[in-house]
Amino acid sequence: MTMLTIEPVACLSDNYAYLIHAPDAGLCAVVDPSEPAPVRKALAAHGLKLTHILNTHHHFDHTGGNIALKEEFGAEIVGPAKDRDRIPGIDVGVTENAPWQFGSRSVRVLEIPAHTRAHIAFVFDDDHAVFTGDTLFAMGCGRLFEGTPDMMWNSLSKLMRLPDDTRVYCGHEYTLNNGRFALTLEPGNTDLQSRMEEVRALRAKDQPTIPSTIGLEKRTNPFLRPGAGEIRRTLAMPGATDIEVFAEMRRRKDAF
Ligand code: ZN
Ligand code: FE
């Protein structure tokens, strides 16, 4: 099995769709197409024909290109079964117990609710890649539109159990702002400091900061680090539970 190629496609103001090309299988999927035009252009640039559309959740900035791309390419739309009614044009509904096949690859689905109640991640184990939509961002996490802090903590904990070398492909370029917030909580984290230098340099050249890895997120993303001593000292919550610390960080980020 040759490795997949995965390419970010910038959409709208700060969204990423991703082209996933399996050359051995002659398949090409797009994850979370916000709009059709940039996806069409990226496909044409590589001479690829779209076969699948994968959606992590129903929000318009992740599904806005579904119908146009489906009509144009006859692509099959795969999304969370529990949100059939809100995924435009959905053909195949997936759950954690019903994984999905991309050619000969078995793709695992993780149910990671809280940003929306049916949000999922697609895990390509053989290729060490996960598509996390608006649940896990580089140095951040999604807003709690349809869930509670403990739901989100549980969802993030599922993602944290993936191998450290798993590449994380998220739905938005929010990294710089997320990192600035992270530094308010954990200014002494040297991994965070050096990551921020890299992120600033990339953004100054208008380059994506994606992908990161699960290991890097565990070292630098405050939302995965509610047990960290410095974070607890900043928040003056020494004896709180991880969920309480997580909830307080999420509250502060909403107002950051
Ligand atoms: Zn969203
Ligand atoms: Fe989004």
Question: Per residue in 100-153, pLDDT tens?
Answer: 999 999 999 999 999 999 999 999 999 999 999 999 999 999 999 999 999 999
Q: Quickly count: other Cβ atoms within 10 Å of residue 201's Cβ.
A: 11
User: Ligand 1 center to residue 239 CA distance, Å?
Assistant: 32
> What is the structure's pLDDT at 149?
98
Q: How far apart are CA 81 and CA 37, in angstroms?
A: 27
> What is the structure's pLDDT at 24?
87
* Options 21, 52, 58, 59, the catalytic residue: 59
pTM here is 0.98
> What is the structure's pLDDT at 3?
87
Closest CA to 110 of 160, 74, 46: 160
**E strand segments, 82-119:** 92-94, 100-102, 105-111
Q: How far apart are CA 243 and CA 233, in angstroms?
A: 16
> What is the structure's pLDDT at 52?
98
**Rounded (10°) angle between helices 242-254 and 175-185:** 120
The residues with which 198 forms a beta bridge, in sequence order, are: none
What CATH number has the domain spanning 5-172+212-222? Answer: 3.60.15.10
For residue 114, the ligand closest to its alpha carbon is 1
57 is catalytic: yes
Residues in the chain predicted with pLDDT less than 50, given as ranges, are none
Q: How far apart are CA 185 and CA 75, in angstroms?
A: 44
